[in-house]
Amino acid sequence: MNKEQEKVYKEEYLPYVIKVGKITSWISLPLIFIPALIVVLAFGARPDPGGVITGLIGLCSAMLAWYIVDPVTLYPILHIPGMYMTYLCGNSKEIRAPAATAALSSADVEAGTEQGTVVAGISIAISIFISVGTMTIVAILGNAILSILPDTVLHALNYLLPSLFGTMCMQRILLDPKSTFIILPAAVVLKLMSRAGLFKFLPFGGGYAQILLCVIVGVIVARNVHKDKIRHAGK
């Protein structure tokens, strides 16, 4: 990347994305409560205070750790533009991360670089147009869609995410097999520890511990396995 390109990235692109991301994110917060307000005003509903408090406590306590763990673990691929869009639209691991991964691979660009950031911005926006369009069709057509698809196809959809994650895992592994030699067994151990309930003592039940520790292990292993390369790059 030359100085001119870096200038465009740092002085034009990023400031714009950050400004748009922040403004639209803050504006979105009151918008999400409009349906509740309308149900109260238009239909005379009375939300149950006990129900609201119980429901919010239940849901928020289940999600609280993920508010931090999910963005922190996926930031390397989403980057700044992807973060704003992903945590406004949602479905971070199922749709946004795979779309960004595929785009980075097809453009032959590394995650975490300036070009990678722009590719992530483009790809996640595209994934949002696709998912909003698809969900809109589903919301309008409803059950008619399910009646068209053969049973075999509906059954196969149950295996889409496992197959997708296996594929994406191998894609990442092939980029750094040396690190994977250590990270993958560590992930197995962490999974078994999680299943044995060893993380339950952590705040909010520790359900997030496995993925967070896998990321920490990944970073530490990559730094150490490639320390010569990193040292050389710093000179």
Among 8, 197, 202, 204, binds other proteins (CB under 8 A): 8
Task: Tell me if 3 contacts other proteins by CB under 8 A.
Answer: no
Residues numbered 37-76 forming contacts with other proteins, rule: CB under 8 A: 37-40, 42-48, 50-56, 58-60, 62-64, 66-68, 70-76
Residues numbered 113-132 forming contacts with other proteins, rule: CB under 8 A: 113-116, 118-119, 121-132
Smaller CB separation from other proteins, 200 or 216: 216
Cα angle 215, 217, 218 (rounded to 5 degrees) comes to 60
Q: Which two tokens stand for residue 102?
A: 């595929």
Give the span between the Cα atoms of 199 and 210, in whole angstroms.
8
By rule CB under 8 A, what count of residues binds other proteins? 174
Task: Tell me if 88 contacts other proteins by CB under 8 A.
Answer: yes
**207: which DSSP letter?**
T
Smaller CB separation from other proteins, 54 or 198: 54
Q: Are 73 and 211 in contact (CB under 8 A)?
A: yes
Contacts 24+ apart (CB under 8 A), 114-117: 114/1, 114/5, 114/6, 114/9, 115/1, 116/79, 117/9, 117/79, 117/80, 117/81
Among 161, 197, 202, 204, binds other proteins (CB under 8 A): 161
First to last CA, the chain: 17
Task: Tell me if 199 contacts other proteins by CB under 8 A.
Answer: no
Task: Tell me if 229 contacts other proteins by CB under 8 A.
Answer: yes
CA dihedral in degrees (63, 68, 73, 77; nearest 10)?
Answer: 100
Residues numbered 139-158 forming contacts with other proteins, rule: CB under 8 A: 139-140, 142-143, 145-146, 151-152, 154-158
Smaller CB separation from other proteins, 130 or 200: 130
Task: Tell me if 193 contacts other proteins by CB under 8 A.
Answer: no
Q: How far is the CB of 16 from other proteins (least distance, A)?
A: 5
